[in-house]
Amino acid sequence: MSRFVIYKNGALLAETDRYSYRKFSGNHNTILVNGRGQAAIGRSDISHWNQPATGPTDMTKQARLTVFKDEGSIVIAEGEAGGAYPPLKAEKDRKASPGLERFRRTIVWVESNCVLILDDIRSRQPADISWLIQAKRIETVNPEVGQYIIAHENASAKLQIVSDAKLDSEIVDSLADDRGNPLGWKQLRAHARNVGEVRFATVIALWNKDAKIYLRRFKFDAWEVVVKLLQGEDRWVWVASTNLEKPYRLEGVLRSGRKVLSGE
């Protein structure tokens, strides 16, 4: 759940690496903490193919699915991956990472509408949190409000990312490779600097519709997310759980009037 790909018109639109000898989190659509990625328990972040540390390891303490709900034209998946980001010591040319207490990612697929991605990230100490997505081509639309286009030869989609923290974003060459050969993808990196916790809300308009997204905290650990479309809007209420074992509550009213509930 901490990584995703998106397919459209015959190819991946949100890309990932191929057969890579280096298992960098930066090769994927996920997050980094002070530039550091996911790590097996007891080891630094991975730079080559690796397995969890020897001995009994409960992988559910690192990452697990907390919700999967399929209602046909609407699918909701939620996962917790904070345990995949343990504290890491500084190494040569790499900063220390305080590790995460929580990385809750929710992905909502609304057919013929959009894909919604919600991330709640809580660090053990203030850190730079970087949100990543990569594609064969990324175009800037309006960086002041987080609007971009991801594309390949036969398809494109508008994307907007917003946050409850100030973001500075950049488009860089992706490190994704295939057997050591760079793939040539572009990567959007949205950075929230020196934060103890941060929320990201992202909308990807897969069906060629112009979508805009707004995120507003209206009470402790609860946010309103509004997706404005060409005709109408979807409104969501997103409420954090009290502990890592429980799913978040996500309640939506779509522009059609349809109501959606997850994590009840």
For the record, the structure tokens of 194 come out as 């020196």
What's the confidence (pLDDT) of residue 92? 83
pTM of the entire predicted model: 0.94
Chain mean pLDDT for the chain: 92
Mean pLDDT of 1-10: 88
Secondary structure (3-state) at 9: coil
How many Cα atoms are found within 13 Å in the side-chain-facing hemisphere of 251? Answer: 8
Q: Which CATH topology does 6-48+59-262 take?
A: Beta-galactosidase; Chain A, domain 5 (2.70.98)
What's the confidence (pLDDT) of residue 21? 79
Mean pLDDT of 5-9: 94
CB atoms inside a 10 Å sphere around CB 133: 26
CB atoms inside a 10 Å sphere around CB 149: 15
pLDDT, tens only, 63-78: 899 999 999 999 999 9
pLDDT, tens only, 23-70: 789 899 999 999 999 987 666 666 555 555 555 567 777 889 999 999
**Distance separating alpha carbons of residues 191 and 120, to the nearest angstrom:** 14
Which residue has 């018109």 as its token pair?
A: 9
pLDDT, tens only, 88-102: 999 888 899 999 999
Residue 45 has φ and ψ, to the nearest 5°, of: -60, 145
Contact 239, 249 (CB under 8 A): yes
The least confident of 50-54, 132-136, 233-237, 248-252 is 50-54
Contact 39, 45 (CB under 8 A): yes
Contact 224, 213 (CB under 8 A): no
pLDDT, tens only, 153-197: 999 999 999 999 999 999 999 999 999 999 999 999 999 999 999
For the record, the structure tokens of 44 come out as 């630094």
The ranges assigned to domains in the chain are 6-48+59-262
Mean pLDDT of 229-256: 94
